[in-house]
Amino acid sequence: MSSKTYLKDYPAAVKDHVLFCKSQGMQVPPPSLLKTPEHLEKIRASARINVALLDYMDHNIKAGISTEQIDRWVYQITTDLGGIPAPLNYEGFPKSVCTSIDDVVCHGIPSSREILKDGQIINIDCSTILDGYFSDSSRMYCIGEVSEEKRRLVRVTKECVELGLAEVKPWARLGDMAAVINAHARKNGYSVVREIGGHGVGLEFHEDPWVSYVAPAGTGMVMVPGMVFTIEPMVNMGRAGFRINRFDGWTVRTADHKPSAQWEIMVLVTETGYEVLAW
């Protein structure tokens, strides 16, 4: 496809900027990654369910419940609201939500044998399909009396997301966001997982671009109005290395067994900045 034909597929409001960025050798998103107003109306509806799920968790997570109970809540609330839990049977994942406790970086599988205990931290990662449109976000929860060391990790990780969000601006680069996230984590003595990142989302569960949180400023894809992606750095108290459970093929744990934390938001790039769609 010629560049002229390719540019025809972009919305008129961004064509000139896209042409300039391409002329400078920058990576720009293909037109298929830019959501239309009609897409965004549907994506926001999906996101409202996702936010409702995590709001419910805010009031009901406590010591003594199983992660299987969390999974049942997610399935029931999602389906009652007309949605489908996106993780369920996704590439073989057996549950409706990811529940990642302490040294589990991500993709923890709910279980009736896994009971929340005082002093733990847990990430609950919900993803929703509504009428074929996807949303995705997660929150951290401190169970009972949690050590200051763990609370600090949770707090700093949330600060990383907030600092990264401030760098979401039209015609900036994804690396601008990544650089401030990595710098804040490192300044506080933590490390950011390199090999697992964020992603585009909306029309599919996982779309391009893959989003790094350790890339240098001034690198990566240009943020063009209409892009939707997640900001979800995984911040480890210790080293950045991890291991995937060879028995279930999903559960990711820190290699040094120190705690990990993650907050995830879903963000739309607008003509003036950003809109947080799910949190």
Distances (CA, A) of 5 to 9, 25, 30, 149, 174: 7, 18, 12, 55, 26
CATH number where 136 lies: 3.90.230.10
Total domain count, the chain: 1
Considering the domain boundaries, does residue 5 fall inside one? Answer: no
pLDDT at site 8: 85
Considering the domain boundaries, does residue 10 fall inside one? Answer: no
* Residue of 110, 72, 127, 91 lying closest to 265 (CA atoms): 127
Report the distance separating Cα 181 and Cα 29, nearest Å.
22
pLDDT at site 111: 98
pLDDT, tens only, 228-242:
999 999 999 999 999
Considering the domain boundaries, does residue 51 fall inside one? Answer: yes
pTM: 0.96
Distances (CA, A) of 115 to 69, 100, 142, 199: 9, 12, 14, 31
pLDDT, tens only, 239-268:
999 999 999 999 999 999 999 999 999 999
Considering the domain boundaries, does residue 129 fall inside one? Answer: yes
Considering the domain boundaries, does residue 124 fall inside one? Answer: yes
Overall average pLDDT of the 114-133 stretch: 98
What range does the domain containing 56 cover?
Answer: 33-278
Considering the domain boundaries, does residue 266 fall inside one? Answer: yes
